[in-house]
Structure 1
Amino acid sequence: MVERVLATDATLALIDKLRATHGPLMFHQSGGCCDGSAPMCYPEGEFRVGINDVLLGDIGGCNFYMDDDQFEYWKHTQLTIDVVPGRGSGFSLEAPEGVRFLTRGRVFTDEEANTLAAAMTP
């Protein structure tokens, strides 16, 4: 199985810490301006997912959504969500921790792309 989104060990540890404080979590990456292009972490249900959002998978038991316009740019790429020092958006739950989530990408191999395409075919 080819996964569209993965998480580093540091990300999984931070998810566990945030979940202990805030309960169930979710992620969304909008592709908007400023911090909108960064993955944002919210309490589950606090961000309203719409018909233009694509569920890429889950990381650490948290659904990870992306705006479909942004997904068009990233659909050929496996995303790895990492944590780096610095201040991200004030809306994302990790902001008070002095770190921010960051998306790293790797282009799918031809074999992986074919597997994903086959999975999408009815």
Structure 2
Amino acid sequence: MNELPEQVVTTPAAEELMSRLSSKHGELMFHQSGGCCDGSSPMCYPRGEFLVGDGDVLLATLGETPFYMSGSQFEYWKHTQLILDVVPGRGGCFLWRTGKGCDF
């Protein structure tokens, strides 16, 4: 039987940024909704500022940080491994800003 890979893994850069952000803002969470624009990018929030719904799927817990995806997006990506990384510059207009000159 084929086992599915971990659904979300992080790079060292992502882990370091998550650590810096949680030190400044407290506990974090990620949500990936699908949709247009940057909706397919992971969005990072201070935990509790984004309410997950009954249709959202918990893909992983990265250390202490939950990573959710909308159920409809999960149906397309359920056999995919996501790699959470950091890119220079700013992400799209919907993403909680890291204030560090980079985004997930």
Partner of 2:35: 32
Task: Point out where structure 2 has 5 or more consecutive residues left out of the alignment.
Answer: none
Matches within 5 A, 1:1-122: 2-90=5-93, 91-94=95-98, 96-101=99-104
Distance 1:88 1:58 in 2: 23
**Which structure has the bigger radius of gyration?**
1
Distance 1:70 1:83 in 2: 22
Q: Check conservation: 1:26, 1:42, Cα contact below 8 A.
A: yes
TM-score (norm 1): 0.76
Q: Counting strand residues as a fraction of each chain, which structure ranks higher? A: 1
User: How high is the sequence identity, in percent, across the aligned residues?
Assistant: 58
Distance 1:60 1:98 in 2: 23
Q: Check conservation: 1:54, 1:66, Cα contact below 8 A.
A: yes
SS of equivalent to 2:85: strand
- CA offsets, 1:70-93, max 9 Å, x none? 111111111110001121135424
Paired AA for residue 78 in structure 2:
K
Tell me the C-alpha RMSD between the 2 structures.
1.5
Q: What is the CA-CA distance between 1:60 and the residue it aligns to?
A: 3.4
Q: Which has the higher contact order (CA 8 A, sep 6+)?
A: 2
Q: Would you identify which runs of 4 or more consecutive aligned residues in structure 1 move more than 6 Å?
A: none
TM-score (norm 2): 0.88
- CA offsets, 1:7-58, max 9 Å, x none? 1000000000000110000000000211111101101011000011000011
